[in-house]
Structure 1
Amino acid sequence: MTESNGPQRGDGSMRADGSMPDWERRFRAPRVGLPRWAEDAPDRSLFTSNVTGTFELYAWDRATGAQRQATDRPNGTTGGLLSPDGEWIWWFSDKDGDEFGVWMRQPFHGGPDEPATPGLDPSYPDGLALGRDGTAVVGRSTDKGGSTVHVVRPGAEPVEIYRHTESAGVGDLSHDGTLIAIEHTEHGDAMHSAIRVVRADGTAVAELDDTRGGTEELGLSAMGFAPVDGDSRLLVGHQRRGRWEPLLWDPVTGEETTLAVELPGDLGADWYPDGSALLIEHSYQARSELWRYELGSGELTRLETPEGTVSGALPRPDGTVEFLWSSAAKPPVVRSTSGRVVLDPPAPAHGVGSAPDSVPVSDAWVPGPGGDVHALVQKPAGEGPFPTVFDIHGGPTWHDSDAFAAGPAAWVDHGFAVVRVNYRGSTGYGRAWTDALKHRVGLIELEDIAAVRDWAVASGLADPDRLVLAGGSWGGYLTLLGLGTQPDAWALGLAAVPVADYVTAYHDEMEALKALDRTLLGGTPEEVPERYAASSPLTYVDDVRAPVYISAGMNDPRCPIQQVENYVDRLTERGHPHEVYRYDAGHGSLVVEERIKQLRLEIAFAERHLSRPAGSDRPGDPDRPGPRG
Structure 2
Amino acid sequence: MATFGSWPTPITSELVVRAAAGLGGVSLHGDTVTWAEQRPEEGGRTQLVQRTGDGPAVDVLPAGVNARTAAHEYGGGAWWVAENTVWFVDWADQRLYTVTGQAAPEPVTPEPEVPRGDRWADGRVTTDGRWVLVVREHHPAGGGPAQVVNEIVVLDATGQLAPRVLVSGPDFVSDPRISPDGGRLCWLQWSHPDMPWDGTELCVADLRTTDTGPLVTNAAVVAGRPDTGPGGTGAGESVSEPRWADDGSLWFISDRSDWWNIYRWVPGVDGAEAVVTMDAEIGSPQWVFGQSSYAFLSEGRTVFSSARDGLGFLAIRLADGSVVDLDVPYTSFASIQAEGDRIVFVGASAVTEPSVVSVTVDAEGTITASEILRAPRDLGLSTEWFSRPEPISFPTSGGRTAHALFYPPTNPGVTAEPGELPPLLVFIHGGPTSAARPMLQLGTQYWTSRGFAVVDVNYGGSTGYGRAYRNQLRGQWGVVDVDDCEAAARWLGEQGHVDPTKLCIRGGSAGGYTTLAALAFRDTFAAGASHYGVADLEALATETHKFESRYLDGLIGPYPARRDLYVDRSPIHHVDGFNRPLIVLQGLEDEVVPPNQAEMIVDALRTKGVPVAYVAFEGEQHGFRQAANIRRALDSELSFYAQIFGFELPDAEHIAAVPVQNL
Question: In 2, are the aligned partners of 1:426 and 1:433 still within 8 Å (CA)?
Answer: yes
Q: Does 1:62 align with 2:52?
A: yes
1:443 maps onto 2:498 in alignment: no
Task: Pick from 108, 116, 119 the counterpart of residue 116 of structure 1.
Answer: 108
Q: Report the TM-score when normalising by structure 2.
A: 0.81
Unaligned runs of at least 5 residues, structure 1: 1-14, 95-100, 620-629
CA distance 1:21–1:216, change in 2 (3 Å): closer
* Secondary structure at 2:491 match in 1: helix
Structure 2 CA distance for partners of 1:352 and 1:424, relative to 1, 3 Å: closer
CA 1:515/1:120 → structure 2, altered by over 3 Å: closer, same or farther?
farther
- CA gap of 1:74–1:592, structure 2 versus 1, over 3 A, is farther
What does residue 133 of structure 2 align with?
137
- Once the two structures are superposed, residues 469-523 of structure 1 have per-residue CA deviations (whole angstroms, 9 ceiling, x without a partner) of 101111111111111011x211111011111111112222110101222332332
Residue in structure 1 matching 2:582, options 548, 554, 557: 548
Q: Which moved more, 1:580-589 or 1:377-386?
A: 377-386
CA distance in 1, matches of 2:84, 2:484: 47
The answer to whether the 8 A contact 1:145-1:165 is kept is no
- Alpha-carbon distance in structure 2 between the residues aligned to 1:278 and 1:138: 26
Equivalent position of 1:193 in the other structure: 200
Q: Residue 468 of structure 1 is aligned with which of 497, 504, 514?
A: 504
Relative contact order, higher structure (CA 8 A, sep 6+): 1
Distance 1:617 1:140, change over 3 A: same
Matched, 1:521 2:556: yes
Match of 1:342 in 2: 372
In the aligned structure 1, how far is the partner of 2:381 from the partner of 2:183? 46
Cα gap change, 1:246/1:406 in structure 2, threshold over 3 Å: closer, same or farther?
Answer: same
Write the distance in 2 (CA, Å) between the matches of 1:341 and 1:424. 38
Counterpart position of 2:659:
none
Pairwise CA distance, 1:416: 0.7
How far apart, CA to CA, are the structure 1 residues paired with 2:627 and 2:445? 16
Equivalent in the alignment of 2:89: 91
- Asked whether the equivalents of residues 29 and 354 of structure 1 are also in contact (C-alpha less than 8 Å), the reply is no
C-alpha displacement of 1:82: 2.8
In the superposition, relative to structure 1, how do residues 145 and 178 fare at CA in structure 2: closer, same or farther (>3 Å)? farther
Name the CA shift for 1:66/1:330 in 2 (closer, same or farther; >3 Å): closer
Shift of 1:401: 3.1
Alignment of 1:139-288 (within 5 A): 139-141=135-137, 142=139, 143=145, 144-154=147-157, 155-164=160-169, 166-186=171-191, 188-190=193-195, 191-198=198-205, 199=207, 200-211=214-225, 216-228=234-246, 231-250=247-266, 252-268=267-283, 269-274=293-298, 276-288=300-312
Check conservation: 1:553, 1:582, Cα contact below 8 A: yes
Q: Aligned partner of 1:169: which letter?
A: S
2-side partners of 1:603 and 1:124: how far apart?
A: 38
C-alpha separation in 2, matches of 1:284 and 1:618? 43
* CA deviation profile, 1:176-221 (whole Å, cap 9, x unmatched): 4443333222374223212222344243422035436998423333
User: Which residue identity lines up with residue 361 of structure 1 in the other structure?
Assistant: P
Query: Percent of pairs identical after alignment?
Result: 21
CA distance in 2, matches of 1:60, 1:522: 46
State how far apart, in whole Å, the 2-side matches of 1:398 and 1:314 are. 22
Counterpart residue number, 2:73: none
Q: What SS class does the counterpart of residue 425 from structure 2 fall into?
A: strand
Compared CA separation, residues 311 and 109, structure 1 to 2 (3 A): same
Q: Which amino acid aligns with 1:261?
A: V
Kindly provide the amino acid, as one letter, of the partner of residue 343 in structure 1.
L
Q: Do the aligned partners of 1:292 and 1:301 also contact (CA within 8 Å) in 2?
A: yes
1:387-410, CA deviations, whole angstroms, 9 ceiling, x for partnerless residues? 110011111111113211111111
Residue of structure 2 equivalent to 1:405 = 441
Does residue 430 (structure 1) correspond to residue 466 (structure 2)? The answer is yes
The one of 598, 603, 609 equivalent to 2:638 is: 603
User: What amino acid does structure 1 have at the position aligned with 2:217?
Assistant: T
* DSSP-derived class of the 1:181 partner: strand
* Distance (Å, rounded) in 1 between the aligned partners of 2:62 and 2:408: 39
Partner Cα separation in structure 2 for residue 617 and residue 341 of structure 1? 41
> Given the superposition, is the C-alpha separation of residues 262 and 203 from structure 1 closer, same or farther in structure 2, using an over 3 Å criterion?
closer
**Match of 1:105?**
97
Paired position in structure 2 for 1:328: 350
Deviations 1:258-278 (A, max 9, x none): 234343311245232547221
The amino acid across from 1:420 in the alignment is D
Show CA shifts across 1:241-272 (max 9, x none).
Answer: 1110010123x424444234343311245232
Cα separation, 2, equivalents of 1:157 and 1:258:
40
Partner of 2:482, secondary structure, is: helix
| CA–CA separation in structure 2 for the residues paired with 1:51 and 1:539 | 36
Match of 1:50 among 32, 35, 39: 39
Please give the alpha-carbon distance, in whole angstroms, between the structure 2 residues aligned to 1:445 and 1:126. 32
Letter in structure 2 aligned against 1:415: G
* 2:394 counterpart letter in structure 1: V
Distance 2:66 2:98 in 1: 19
CA contact (8 A) 2:11 2:446 kept: no
Match of 2:387 in 1: 359
Superposed CA RMSD = 3.1
SS in 2 for 1:117: coil
For the residues of structure 2 that align with 1:20 and 1:299, how far apart are their CA atoms? Answer: 46
Question: Which residue number in structure 2 is paired with residue 10 of structure 1?
Answer: none
| Inter-partner Cα distance in structure 2 for 1:138 and 1:613 | 54
Q: Paired residue for 1:493, among 525, 528, 531? A: 528
Deviation at 1:463, TM superposition (A): 1.5
Q: Give the conservation status (yes or no) of the 8 Å contact 1:281–1:290.
A: yes
- State the distance in 1 between where 2:352 and 2:476 align: 37
What is the match of residue 572 of structure 2?
A: 538
Deviations 1:115-170 (A, max 9, x none): 33226562455643333324222323342234222221232111122333633333
Per-residue Cα deviation, 1:15-70 (whole angstroms, up to 9, x for no partner): 99xx964553243144462662354x442523315385445313313133251251
**Residue type at the aligned position of 2:587:** G
Which structure 2 residue ranges, 5 or more long, are not aligned? 1-6, 70-75, 140-144, 208-213, 284-292, 361-368, 411-415, 655-663
Aligned to 1:569: 603
Report the more deviating stretch, 205-214 or 177-186. 205-214
Residue 90 of structure 1 aligns to a residue in which SS? strand
Q: Distance in 2 between matches of 1:534 and 1:126?
A: 38
Per the TM alignment, residue 75 of structure 1 is displaced from its structure 2 partner at its CA by: 7.9
TM-score (norm 1): 0.85
What is the rounded CA distance, in whole Å, between the counterparts of 1:568 and 1:158 in structure 2? 46
Matched position secondary structure for 2:352: coil
Question: What is the CA distance between 1:575 and its match in structure 2?
Answer: 3.5
In 2: Cα distance, 1:293 partner to 1:537 partner: 48
Match of 1:465, SS state, is coil
CA contact (8 A) 1:385 1:462 kept: yes
Asked if 1 retains the 8 angstrom alpha-carbon contact of 2:97 and 2:105, the reply is yes
Amino acid at match of 1:70: L
Aligned partners of 2:346 and 2:357 also within 8 Å: yes
Secondary structure, counterpart of 2:276 in structure 1: coil
Moved more, 353-362 or 602-611: 353-362
